[in-house]
Amino acid sequence: MHSIKQILKWPLIIAGAVVILRVIVERMGAHSAVSNILSVAVLHTVLGPLYFATRVAKSKAQHPFRMLFTLIGIYAVCTRAMILPTYWLARIFDWHESRFAGLAGPDVSPFVGFIAIPFATAAFWIAASLVVGGLIGTITLALVRR
């Protein structure tokens, strides 16, 4: 388990910085193309699995594919947990960025705005990370281990 913590340390720090930076950029009124570059979804779906596969391949782990999927799953869950407060703030302060659509408004209940949409979005991205990131990571791991 120590090696998993060690591998996750910097990707999680980077993800936390990206979450904060994206909110700052959005609140400052930057164009959506600029804020979309700061995508945590890309981190946990593509870049993280590539990084994890490379690290696992070099680690000589006994069960490399299990370790890879464990890393991807933990990383996706942790990064999505970092994003939840931004959804709650968007609901409270009625932020209008497209990624917060459906969180606020006169016809949106607190349950939908605080629980249903944020957690459904998190579940979707965690599953997507395990499937897409798992595929990317598996291919990368197989290639690097050769």
pLDDT average per 10 residues of sequence, the chain (146 residues): 87 98 94 91 97 94 95 98 97 92 91 97 98 98 91
On the CB side of 126, CA atoms within 13 Å amount to 19
Specify the pLDDT at position 60.
Answer: 82
Which pLDDT value is given to residue 76? 98
Number of other residues whose CB lies within 10 A of the CB of residue 41: 18
pLDDT in the model for residue 2:
60
Token reading at 22: 């994206």
How far apart CA 41 and CA 38 sit, in angstroms, is: 9
Distances (CA, A) of 112 to 41, 87, 115, 137: 22, 11, 6, 34
What residues have CB less than 8 Å from 14, skipping those under 6 apart?
43
Q: What letter would DSSP give residue 31?
A: -
* Per-residue pLDDT at 146: 81
pLDDT of residue 90: 96
- Cα gap 138→133, rounded to integer Å: 8
Q: Domain span at residue 10?
A: 2-145
User: How many domains in the chain?
Assistant: 1
pLDDT for position 144: 93
Helices (H), 44-97: 48-59, 64-93
- Which pLDDT score, from 0 to 100, does residue 95 have? 93
Contact 109, 22 (CB under 8 A): no
